[in-house]
Structure 1
Amino acid sequence: MRSGAAAYPFIDQLDEPIGLLAELSSNSAAWFVEHFAGADDLLDAKDNVIDPIKAFLNGNQRSVYDDARSFIQANSTNIAYLPAGVADGIETALEDAQIFRGNKTAQLGSVVTAVRTQLDGVVAAERDAAAAKIDDYWKQVPVSAAYAAATEAARQSVTRQTEQMLARVQQERQIPTIRHLAAQFDDTIYPAILDTLEAAKAAPAPGWEDSDDGETPVPVKPTPLVKQSISIRKLSWPGAGGVLETEAQVDVYLDQLRATLLATINDNKRITL
């Protein structure tokens, strides 16, 4: 009954009666008849502490408590995305040294069920939002010229990559990770998909140049100009951290922004928005 003592806030209440019983165990039966005067106290401890705790540890109350503790541990990050104070009742109950008494455990189970239902709804909404964001980018791919010109192997590769990301979103339960997956697709995977398709285009027809004898032309395979895609969020924005308050400041900012975008394009890059 003492195993896992640190897991339950009431377990130290057993120390006194168990310690007393250990001290008394060395006495003879005659001593108890002639000298022992604490029987009422022991019976009271048994009825009011030992038996209720034993019933808790051996019954459904323990399962409810352990489920609540596991729920809080597994969702310690997610709970921050719920309204403030929603899960406070669970935390308080888990620290209550009298949780084994009355219907406190039943109340704890009800609170956990309500919070779990609310959290499931929030997680589902986050998954839907992340999937929609990914789909907004992906739906531009199959209708693009790069997709049409790419090999079938490249098309299947980028399709599979997107499907795997969507599957990860639907399986993930941690809200920060769900948001990170959507941002990752935006910032890195989508640009990489465009680069994969561009690199998989059919090679252009070769050109020709004179041979060493100056008479017989020989084919020259052109070197394709490969562009790299980069998310607009990966660029170094001018005036980061500043504040725009006047029309003149807006004009200056837009001029700087335009210069940044053009410099990126002139550096042989495509910018994904």
Structure 2
Amino acid sequence: MSDSEVIKALQRIVFDDVLQSNKIRFADNGNDYSFAQKIDDGLIKGKEGDVVVNLVTPEHPNYGSEAILHSRNMGGTELMAVLPGKERLLDQIRSQLKTDLYIRQNSGSEDETLNAILAIRAKQNGSRRQEITRLAEEQLRLAVLVVNGHTLSVGEGDPKTRFSKAYQELIRSAFPKLKMVHGAFNETTVAAVVRDQDDLLDGLAVQLSEAEQEVLVEVERSKNQAERLSAEALVRKFEGRPYGWSNWATLTFIARLYRLGKLELREKELLSSVEVIEALTNSRKLGGVSVRKQEVYDTSTVNALKRFHQELFNTQSIGTDARSTCEAFRMAMAEEAQDLREIAAQSANYPFLAAVKPWAEQAEAMAKKDDGYLLNQLNTFKDSWLDAEEDLITPLKQFLNGNQKTVYDEVRAFELRYGDEFADLPAEQVRPLRMLLESDKPYAGGLIPQANSAMAELQKQLGERLAAAKAKALQEISEQEARLKATADFQKLETSKQEQVLAATAAAKADVEAASQPGRALLRVSRYRNDEVPKQLQRMAALAAPADTSTAAPIKVVAASALKVNCPLSQITNNQELQQWLEALRASAQAELDQGHRISL
């Protein structure tokens, strides 16, 4: 039976069956620490790390030489458990393993006597295995426990209790800087310190804890050596000796140093407070989060950015130091970018709003600038932003949020509805409307009040023109109606048939009454005269015709305005030309009559 198999069996009995633990729970902070398992200095399970539990058996080459064993134990990272020399545990394990091997090798034989003997041996070996576990437990009750060359006073008793006490000393010895950390840490504490304002009140100097100073020193060291330092690397650094800090403790210290303006955190861009919380509480992101020492800025530089914040956004910065002042500015710029994007999105209806699109893009870029740019390069962008805010952005916002937009919409709707009438209206009164709607800055130069006044006057004139157009149109329709009623064919008709003929007249009158524009009233009477009156005459003739003429072709009526006069003249300038035109008109009318058609006047 090989020694390695015996050692592995001892490892399982001691660590799995008796001690039943693969991690050390440190009572002071509730954190778990992994540990490597050794027997007689040989690594059996785990990896060479910060904490080791080394089981020393009587087969160790230096067993019995307390001075040598204790000197080898110096360093504080190993708990050495020296087993008693009596009742040699390894011999018992070898015997049990040999018997187990013999049973396995001879099982399956057809010899019933042999099988019966093997069954007895197997039962005895099972009992022996239990006895070995009991013996191991007894030896662990008595084992000498040593940390950093000093024998621990943990008394005799339950092995789990003894080793638990010893583990506490081992952790304290392996991680002497663990005492810098006080309290419990988790995901909630990371978020809490980032959001905490108490540390920043009145800009008072804040005393850093020992642990926070250690983190800051490590960041400074990496900066001096031009090394990239990630949040993940810091966590690994302080998990190891001589610290032993939990990952949440380290991340909380990073978060607070960020909040105090001592560190800056980046991925591709500088992270905001919300992004810092998200990044530090997501283990998959830690490797991509760079940690750098925050540059120190003088008070005058920070105050200059605060003043610009006030001037640009008309609200006081909530920042109290360089970090929080820059973050407040970036947040305000992000909100401004969103506002400007929403304004630019309305350019389909208001084309002049497209002017803010470049500023929306600039605001979005500014919201991603780091502290150094905002504070050191302020003079390179301050004036252009203040000019844009005064000349473009604020006027546009006032336009959209005030009465100017209402008036503009009314003018645009008025032009859309009555634009066809503008040619008949005074040009000097139409011009303010045209200027407003064609301007790329309709909110400036008094264009809106001028257009509003002009629109009011035009509405008055259009009202007067509409009334006159309606009166004229209704008079013409009434005259035409009177002529229809005076015809012999109309008077022959029964009342119901007369009403059929006059239905088109009533409809024309109703349309004229409902007309909202002068031109529409005149167009309606023109359509009635040229299209509907001839149809009325045709209808009237058909209704008045004798019953025995039902098979005859229907009478066609042509409007006088529709006659095709074959005359080369473009105008009439004398009596001779008048006679020429009348002859041509007479010939055209006679041609219609020759076809049996009638002509409406």
Which bracket does the TM-score occupy, shorter chain normalised? 0.7 to 0.9
Look up the match of 1:265: 593
Look up the match of 2:540: 197
Select 2:429's aligned residue among 75, 81, 86: 86
Look up the match of 2:563: 235
Residue range with higher mean Cα deviation, 34-43 or 79-88: 34-43
Please list the CA deviations of residues 100-139 of structure 1 after superposition, one character each: whole Å capped at 9, or x if unmatched: 2364322221122112222232233223222222221112
Give the aligned residue type for 1:65. Answer: Y
Q: Distance in 1 between matches of 2:593 and 2:419?
A: 44
| Pair 1:11-2:339 in alignment | no
Cα pair 2:474 2:512 within 8 Å, conserved: yes
**Residue 224 of structure 1, CA deviation:** 8.1
Please list the CA deviations of residues 119-169 of structure 1 after superposition, one character each: whole Å capped at 9, or x if unmatched: 232233223222222221112223332222113332112222211112122
The aligned runs of 1:119-268 (5 Å cut-off) are 119-201=462-544, 203=546, 221=548, 227-241=555-569, 244=572, 247=575, 250-251=578-579, 253-268=581-596
Q: In the comparison of the two structures, how many residue pairs are matched?
A: 257
Q: Distance in 2 between matches of 1:114 and 1:266?
A: 55
**Residue 240 of structure 1, CA deviation:** 4.8
Cα pair 1:147 1:155 within 8 Å, conserved: yes
**Residue 28 of structure 1, CA deviation:** 3.7
Q: Aligned pair in 2 of structure 1 residues 255, 41: CA closer, same or farther (>3 Å)?
A: closer
Cα pair 1:169 1:178 within 8 Å, conserved: yes
Q: Distance in 1 between matches of 2:458 and 2:389?
A: 36
**Residue 71 of structure 1, CA deviation:** 1.5
**Residue 187 of structure 1, CA deviation:** 1.9
Q: Distance in 2 between matches of 1:248 and 1:44?
A: 75
Cα pair 2:569 2:581 within 8 Å, conserved: no
Look up the match of 1:215: none
**Residue 87 of structure 1, CA deviation:** 1.0
| Pair 1:115-2:458 in alignment | yes
**Residue 252 of structure 1, CA deviation:** 5.1
Q: Aligned pair in 2 of structure 1 residues 78, 253: CA closer, same or farther (>3 Å)?
A: closer
Q: Distance in 2 between matches of 1:35 and 1:264?
A: 89
Q: Describe the SS at the equivalent of 1:230.
A: strand
Give the aligned residue type for 2:461. Answer: Q
Give the aligned residue type for 2:360. Answer: I
The aligned runs of 1:28-43 (5 Å cut-off) are 28-29=370-371, 31-37=373-379, 38-43=381-386
Q: Aligned pair in 2 of structure 1 residues 249, 99: CA closer, same or farther (>3 Å)?
A: closer
Residue range with higher mean Cα deviation, 227-236 or 5-14: 5-14
Cα pair 1:229 1:270 within 8 Å, conserved: yes
**Identity over the aligned pairs, expressed in percent?**
22
**Residue 79 of structure 1, CA deviation:** 0.9
**Residue 77 of structure 1, CA deviation:** 1.5
**Residue 57 of structure 1, CA deviation:** 0.5
TM-score, length basis structure 2: 0.39
- RMSD (Å) for aligned C-alpha atoms: 3.0
Give the aligned residue type for 1:69. Answer: R
Look up the match of 1:210: none
Cα pair 1:150 1:202 within 8 Å, conserved: no
Look up the match of 1:26: 368
**Residue 30 of structure 1, CA deviation:** 6.0
Cα pair 2:344 2:354 within 8 Å, conserved: no
Give the aligned residue type for 2:562. Answer: K
Q: Distance in 2 between matches of 1:104 and 1:243?
A: 45
Give the aligned residue type for 2:443. Answer: F
Look up the match of 1:98: 441
Look up the match of 2:414: 71
Q: Aligned pair in 2 of structure 1 residues 254, 34: CA closer, same or farther (>3 Å)?
A: closer
TM-score, length basis structure 1: 0.78
| Pair 1:2-2:330 in alignment | no
**Residue 192 of structure 1, CA deviation:** 1.6
**Residue 18 of structure 1, CA deviation:** 2.7
| Pair 1:54-2:54 in alignment | no
Give the aligned residue type for 1:50. Answer: I
Residue range with higher mean Cα deviation, 146-155 or 222-231: 222-231
Q: Aligned pair in 2 of structure 1 residues 26, 263: CA closer, same or farther (>3 Å)?
A: closer
**Residue 23 of structure 1, CA deviation:** 1.4
Q: Aligned pair in 2 of structure 1 residues 265, 102: CA closer, same or farther (>3 Å)?
A: closer
Please list the CA deviations of residues 164-212 of structure 1 after superposition, one character each: whole Å capped at 9, or x if unmatched: 11212232345554333222222221122122122222746xxxxxxxx
Cα pair 2:429 2:458 within 8 Å, conserved: yes
Cα pair 1:130 1:178 within 8 Å, conserved: yes
Q: Distance in 1 between matches of 2:398 and 2:418?
A: 29
Q: Distance in 2 between matches of 1:262 and 1:13?
A: 67
Q: Aligned pair in 2 of structure 1 residues 154, 50: CA closer, same or farther (>3 Å)?
A: same
Q: Aligned pair in 2 of structure 1 residues 31, 160: CA closer, same or farther (>3 Å)?
A: same
Q: Aligned pair in 2 of structure 1 residues 108, 26: CA closer, same or farther (>3 Å)?
A: same
Residue range with higher mean Cα deviation, 80-89 or 96-105: 96-105
Q: Distance in 2 between matches of 1:168 and 1:11?
A: 41
Give the aligned residue type for 2:459. Answer: R
Q: Describe the SS at the equivalent of 1:14.
A: helix
